[in-house]
């Protein structure tokens, strides 16, 4: 599986809110236009901004990778399912994201039933 990483520019901007919205707009556009199975974001503001750009009809929480790092499943307006994980900023260690990606690559996420 391939991982696509979107991140803030290395150089700090004068207006961090505009950086957040630029990243979220880019991410939401990619998620609408291409086939992705999972989106992982760090921080609630980032995830909220991304999700605002998607047409989500239903959402279920499946489990946590680790404390403060839940995984859910969304049904998008076009009928596609998307796994969504959000790591809270203060949780985890340097390898938390790597472990989550490894679990996803091993397909250890059980899809219980279709969303409706």
Q: Supply 7's token pair.
A: 């991140």
Kindly give, in sequence order, each residue whose CB lies less than 8 Å from that of residue 12, ignoring residues fewer than 6 positions away: none
Sign of CA dihedral 41, 42, 47, 53: negative
Whether 44 has a pLDDT exceeding 80, the answer reads yes
Strand pairing category for 69-76 and 81-87: antiparallel
Mean pLDDT of 31-55: 86
Kindly write down the DSSP assignment for every residue of 62-74, as one continuous string.
EEEEETTEEEEEE
Confidence of residue 75 (pLDDT cuts 50, 70, 90): very high
């Amino acid at each position: 599986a391939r991982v696509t990483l979107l991140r803030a520019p290395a150089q700090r901007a004068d207006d961090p809110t505009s950086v957040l919205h630029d990243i979220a707009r880019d991410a939401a556009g990619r998620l609408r236009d291409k086939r992705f199975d999972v989106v992982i974001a760090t921080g609630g503001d980032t995830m909220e901004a991304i999700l605002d750009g998607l047409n989500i009809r239903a959402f279920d929480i499946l489990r946590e990778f680790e404390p403060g790092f839940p995984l859910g499943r969304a049904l998008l307006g076009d009928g596609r399912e998307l796994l969504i994980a959000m790591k809270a900023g203060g949780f985890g260690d340097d390898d938390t994201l790597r472990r989550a990606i490894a679990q996803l690559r091993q397909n250890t996420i059980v899809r219980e039933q279709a969303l409706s």
